[in-house]
Amino acid sequence: MNKMQISPESVIELLSNYQKSRVLLTGIELNVFSAIGNQKSSSNAIAKKVGADTRALDRLMNALSGLGFLNKVKCLFSNTDFSKKYLCENSKEYMLQLGHIVNMNRNWSRLTDAVRRGKSVGVKRFSNREQKWFESFISAMHSRAVWQAKEIIPLLKPSGMKVLDIGGGSGAHAMEFIRHNAKSVCVFDLPKVIPLTRRYVRKENMERKIIFRKGDFLKDEFGSGFDIVFISAIIHMLNPKEIRKLFVKSASALADDGKIVVQDFFMSDDRTDPLRGALFALNMLVGTAHGDTYTETEVREWLIEAGFGNIYRIDTTFEAPLLLGKK
């Protein structure tokens, strides 16, 4: 585990980094980069477009220029090549995860209160959130899942298999299963998510090859006879009781000799490694009702309780390995 080198200077730098990130987050939240587009504009003109105070926005744009995200010549601002490519919403390479990062930052601002109370503060239940929130969330998850799926799915050798993708989101993993000749793939997700899943799948012309099923994976039935139940980046949203229930339901959905595949952060027994997992546990604290990151020992025990055997781990290049078990 790589820990930062700590000194008085590094502590001050760490504590001050919020200023730079907050400047960029506000620029994104106000759609400053999209409002500028390919033009050279004054702060007054952009303030009218985004609904902000002219003087205050001018100071924000000055800071964005100092950080290298805008150019400023005399009194006119323009996007840098980077900002045109990645921060303008009409660009094909726009960073889709930005909206979700803005939402997470709001939650993290309440971390102190969440630690005092032991639960998130002012955050709605996952299923009750607005459609716009889901769009940002699924966009962020899609950008991550697309490249991760290319590494994960070939390891599972799904050719000829019937797959259930629980909480499948954008369908990135489901589509990769199809590309590796899975017999069929069913994406099971919330009613607010499935229309978004269809949108992503339709872009790849794979809508006829995937089954879409709306439901709550803690309440509704999955069906049966699957060869693989795939659960990626789901258990960190749940408490231990819910995870046990999900694993038991997954076992019931599998055919004889079927296997469960769980991908997530699996923490060391002291819960400090990997660091991203330790930070993500706090992300779950501020952003969910009772989510967390769990140790590999805990997850193995819950899989065994649900009736799975031959449990083994496959490491990945992105600190979220797989745990597999056979029914």
Q: Note the pLDDT tens digit of each residue in 4-57.
A: 788 998 888 888 888 999 999 999 999 999 999 999 999 999 999 999 999 999
152 plus 216 within the same structural domain: yes
Pick from 295, 219, 231, 299: nearest CA to 260? 231
16 plus 67 within the same structural domain: yes
Classify residue 41 by its DSSP letter: B
Classify residue 146 by its DSSP letter: H
Average pLDDT, the chain: 94
Count up the domains in the chain and report the number. 2
- Collapse the DSSP code of 59 into the 3-class scheme (helix H, G, I; strand E, B; otherwise coil) and give the result: helix
Pick from 307, 325, 314: nearest CA to 259? 325
216 C-beta neighbours (distance < 10 Å), count: 12
252 plus 150 within the same structural domain: yes
| Lowest mean pLDDT segment, chosen from 54-58, 261-265, 284-288 | 284-288
Please give the angle made by the CA atoms of 279, 197 and 105, to the nearest 5 degrees.
30
134 plus 30 within the same structural domain: no
For the domain that residue 298 is a member of, what is the CATH number?
3.40.50.150
Pick from 290, 312, 292: nearest CA to 300? 312
Check residue 259 and give its pLDDT: 98
Check residue 127 and give its pLDDT: 67
* Residue 30 counted as domain residue: yes
Q: Note the pLDDT tens digit of each residue in 151-172.
A: 999 999 999 999 999 999 999 9
Residue 271 belongs to domain spanning: 116-326
Check residue 121 and give its pLDDT: 86
* Residue 94 counted as domain residue: no
Q: Give me the mean pLDDT over the 107-123 stretch.
A: 90
Query: Could you give the dihedral angle defined by the CA atoms of residues 150, 151, 155 and 159, in that order, rounded to the nearest 10 degrees?
Result: 0
* pTM, to two decimals: 0.86
* Residue 131 counted as domain residue: yes
78 plus 185 within the same structural domain: no
* Residue 183 counted as domain residue: yes
pLDDT category at 126 given cuts 50, 70, 90 is: low
For the domain that residue 42 is a member of, what is the CATH number?
1.10.10.10
260 plus 148 within the same structural domain: yes
